[in-house]
Amino acid sequence: MGRRSAKIATRKNKADAAKAKLFGKIGKQIAQAVRQGGPDQVANARLREALAAAKVAQVPSDIIERNIKKASESKADYAEVTYEAYGLGGTGFVIECLTDNVNRSASDVKAAITKGGGKVADPGSVLFNFQRQGLVMIDASEGEDQAFEAAMEAGAADVQPALDDDDKVVGYKVLTAVEDFGAVSSSLAEQGIKTVPEASGLVYVPLVQQEVNDDQFEGNEALLERLLAVDDVDAVYTTVAGLD
């Protein structure tokens, strides 16, 4: 396989992994909603929200049905947990989990951090370097002008091109305030704008991008991949420049 083909394959693998993580996260959110309010979406507002997110993300119906059934029959409940870590070169990592076993997720995440060459950080010592925002990824096929015009009409706070390793535009990041995420998403959909569900959602955006040397970048990339391999981990954010 040539270098270009290898890069394409790597990007596809990352996209597939991101989609799997998203489907898993939404599945757990559905299960959590059912456990708290029952399987009737008419009477369960949280379940309606989770199912709406599943529709936007194009989650297969069998995954939805499986999680509703599992939650109806099981007493397991999910908790949202955030961990923080230092990477190589003094960089920061924020790790989001939705887990039915906090002790297991804490053990697995901390082990991944240590084995990946990082250091577990105290709560709040890394998180202050990030801002919670909504992110809607517009597909690159829409073009820059169309993406920017649609985003501004939808009420977005900012729009940024998303670049791959070769600095090629692969989409457009539409950033919103947390409370505006739903409205902006709906407006883009109503305008017929093609989005990328697996790359959209509520995220932590770094307030500063940290440049590191090549060895540190590779080490941080390996740490990121190790963290994402943990079953309970739904998303990982970092201050490392160029590492999404």
**Which residue in 216, 189, 223 sits closest to 89, CA to CA?**
216
> What is the tens place of the pLDDT at every residue in 135-194?
999 999 999 999 999 999 999 999 999 988 778 899 999 999 998 998 999 999 999 999
> What is the tens place of the pLDDT at every residue in 71-83?
887 766 788 899 9
pLDDT of residue 89: 96
